[in-house]
Each structure stands twice: as C-alpha cells, then as structure tokens.
C-alpha cells in the first residue's frame, strides 16, 4: 500500500505549516505591489526594503526565543534607544569607535540579564518586568539627553556599520543574515534551543526532567537584550544620530513580525525563517504604502488590519488542520 500523500493532502500539509501563512501573504503582497507600482521591484527599492527590515528583524530574532519560551519582552524598543544613545555619547566623548560599537550590544546584554533576573529571582510576570524596564529606560534616555538628539556621528568607521556595502549587499543585511544563521542553529541544534521550546511547551514538565528553567530564562532574555543592542548601533549608524524617541513603539512591530511568522504566542513553537519573512513583510507594507502615496496617518491602521487578518488566517488554517 502506498503511503505517499495525495496532491490535495500535500497542499493542505504545506499550508498548515506554522510559517506558511506569512510566506503566502508576503508573496501576494509582492505580486500586488509589483503590478500597481513599477517602482517597487527596482533594485534601489529592494535594497531600501532590506536595509529598513534589519532593525526590526535583528530584534525579532531575540523575540522569537522569548515568545517561543512562553515569555514576552516589551522593553526591546527602549533597549534599542538607550544603547544607541550610549554608543553615540561615547563616540562624541572621544572613546574609540570600535569600543563604542561593542559597548552598545554589551549594554543591551546587561539590561537583558536584568530582565531575566527580575523574572526569575523576583518572580515578576514577564509582561510587568519588561514593561517596568521599558518605562525606566525611556525615562533615563530623556533625562540623559534632555530630549535633544545626539548629532555629528559622521565617522567613516561608524557610518559603515549602518550604511556600508559589501559589493552590492548592504552591510547591515549581511550582519542580519549571519545572526539569523547563528541563532537558527542555536534554536534548532543546541541544548539551549531545546530547553527554550520545552519551557514554552510546559515549564513544570521541563523543570521535572532537570532543565534549568530559571537559568534558561535569564540566558534567553540576555540574548534578546544583546540583539536589541546590535539593532541600536545599526540604527544610530544609519541615521548618524541618536534620537531620544528612537525605537518608540517598535516593540509592536517586533512582536507582530514574530507572531505572524508562526511562533506560538503561548510558547513551545518558534519559526525563525517565518520571523525573518515577518520582519521583511512589515517593512514591505510600509514601503508599498509610501509608493502608493497613502498618507502616513493611515499606515498603522493598514498594518494593524493586516496583522489581525494574518493571525486570524493562521489560526483558521491550524484549526482546520486539527479537524482533518
């Protein structure tokens, strides 16, 4: 007896894959924009989309671990902001540029560790702990800068981080690709990744089988903070300035990219490739709206509606698959 699936069954199986929804949505969006605006598929515009996807994408890598573990991190935008300000301030004060570039991610790592300790030692719910950290960091940014952006970061070594090219590929995109490869390996091929998803599936069972739940949570939040620091340096380099409101509200895009990509909000499942497509999708929507001349006042409305539709479609597909 043949065990191969029929063509319709194979199609249903492919569509029901956690990351299939975002791939289909992205393909439809690209086809639509290619038809309605010829400027969309030009090389210059593709480079713009990829470059603008990096900041959200890098942070979404860490968020994939956090949400896959059953947690949440609302402080990612504030971490991006404060690491950018710290890097810019160090450069302005004459600190070695390469040291300042390293200091940004290092500061993000420390803040991520703080989030993890608040959750594990003080038993704060992740939502409350990271919400508090977000408010604290945002306040510190405004106190330090007095609400005034830090300008004058036109140093070639620093500009290259956010604006440079390796052949025709933007350097930030290269950094993003490397980070995706590294952390995909960590998530799917290492003990840390297995522990992360096991805790997301059932933290009690994970603890009973000997997994260090608290230790894993601290490491995962540290990874999230580290990647936010990387994103903060890239954004500051790209804009040649550190604005006090940098990253304000970006946590919503980061979470949306992760969820739309197929990572389960309840934990236990993480789809790194889907997260990457989700991040590019969010940027593509904004880019397409700009090309179509849609008022920026409507951008968030369209993106919100798209997120609801995408998640609803994914949920419907999952339920249909379960019924079959």
Where do the domains of the chain lie, and which CATH numbers do they carry? Answer: 39-311 (1.10.3470)
Question: Vertex 99, ends 93 and 100: CA angle to 5°?
Answer: 50
Q: What is the pLDDT of residues 59-108, one digit of tens each?
A: 999 999 999 999 999 999 999 999 999 999 999 999 999 999 999 999 99
Query: Does 217 score more than 90 pLDDT?
Result: yes
Read off the pLDDT of residues 106-131 as tens digits, 9 standing for 90 and up: 999 999 999 999 999 999 999 999 99
| In the predicted structure, residue 15 carries a pLDDT above the cut 60 | no
pTM of the predicted model as reported, rounded to 2 decimal places? 0.93
User: Tell me, what's the pLDDT at 1?
Assistant: 45
Q: Are 226 and 112 spatial neighbours (Cβ–Cβ below 8 Å)?
A: yes
Max distance between CA atoms of the chain, in angstroms, equals 74
- Residue of 92, 82, 111 lying closest to 244 (CA atoms): 82
pLDDT band with cut points at 50, 70 and 90 for residue 243: very high
Give 22 or 118, the one with higher predicted confidence. 118
Q: Residue 248 CA to chain centroid, in angstroms?
A: 14
Q: What is the pLDDT of residue 34?
A: 96
Q: How confident is the model at residue 196 (pLDDT cuts 50, 70, 90)?
A: very high
What was the pLDDT predicted at 236? Answer: 98
Give the confidence band of 6 by pLDDT, cuts at 50, 70, 90: low
- The band of 12, judged by pLDDT with boundaries at 50, 70 and 90, is low
Residue 216 near residue 114 (C-beta atoms within 8 A) = no
Whether 319 has a pLDDT exceeding 80, the answer reads: no
Closest CA to 156 of 97, 102, 99: 97
Burial class (CB in 10 A: 0-12, 13-18, 19+), 56: buried
Arithmetic mean of pLDDT over the chain: 92
pLDDT at 11 over 70: no
% of the chain beyond a pLDDT of 90: 81
User: Alpha-carbon torsion 35, 36, 38, 40, what sign?
Assistant: negative
Burial level of 52, CB count in 10 A (0-12/13-18/19+)?
Answer: buried
Length of the chain, in residues: 324
Percent of the chain past pLDDT 70, that is, above it, reads: 91
């Amino acid at each position: 007896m043949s065990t191969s699936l029929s063509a319709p069954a194979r199609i249903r199986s492919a569509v029901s894959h956690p990351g299939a929804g975002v791939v289909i949505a992205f393909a439809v969006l690209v086809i639509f924009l290619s038809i309605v605006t010829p400027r969309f598929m030009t090389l210059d515009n593709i480079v713009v989309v990829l470059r603008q996807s990096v900041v959200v994408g890098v942070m979404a890598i860490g968020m994939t671990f956090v949400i896959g573990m059953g947690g949440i991190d609302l402080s990612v935008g504030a971490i991006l902001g404060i690491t950018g300000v710290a890097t810019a301030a160090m450069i302005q004060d004459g600190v070695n540029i390469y040291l300042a570039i390293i200091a940004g991610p290092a500061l993000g790592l420390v803040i991520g560790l703080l989030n993890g300790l608040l959750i594990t030692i003080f038993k704060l719910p992740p939502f409350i702990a990271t919400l508090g950290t977000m408010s604290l960091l945002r306040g510190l940014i405004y106190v330090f800068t007095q609400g005034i952006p830090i300008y004058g970061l036109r140093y070639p070594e620093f500009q290259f981080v956010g604006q440079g090219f390796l052949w025709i590929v933007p350097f930030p995109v290269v950094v993003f690709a490397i980070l995706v490869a590294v952390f995909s390996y960590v998530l799917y091929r290492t003990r840390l990744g297995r522990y992360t998803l096991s805790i997301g599936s059932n933290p009690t069972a994970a603890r009973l089988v000997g997994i260090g739940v608290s230790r894993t949570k601290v490491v995962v939040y540290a990874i999230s903070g580290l990647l936010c620091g990387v994103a903060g340096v890239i954004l500051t380099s790209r804009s040649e300035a550190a604005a006090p409101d940098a990253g304000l509200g970006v946590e919503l895009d980061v979470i949306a990219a992760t969820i739309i990509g197929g990572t389960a909000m309840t934990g236990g499942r993480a789809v790194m490739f889907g997260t990457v497509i989700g991040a590019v999708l969010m940027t593509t929507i904004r880019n397409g709206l700009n090309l179509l001349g849609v008022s920026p006042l409507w951008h968030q409305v369209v993106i919100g509606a798209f997120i609801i539709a995408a998640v609803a479609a994914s949920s419907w597909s999952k339920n249909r698959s379960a019924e079959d």
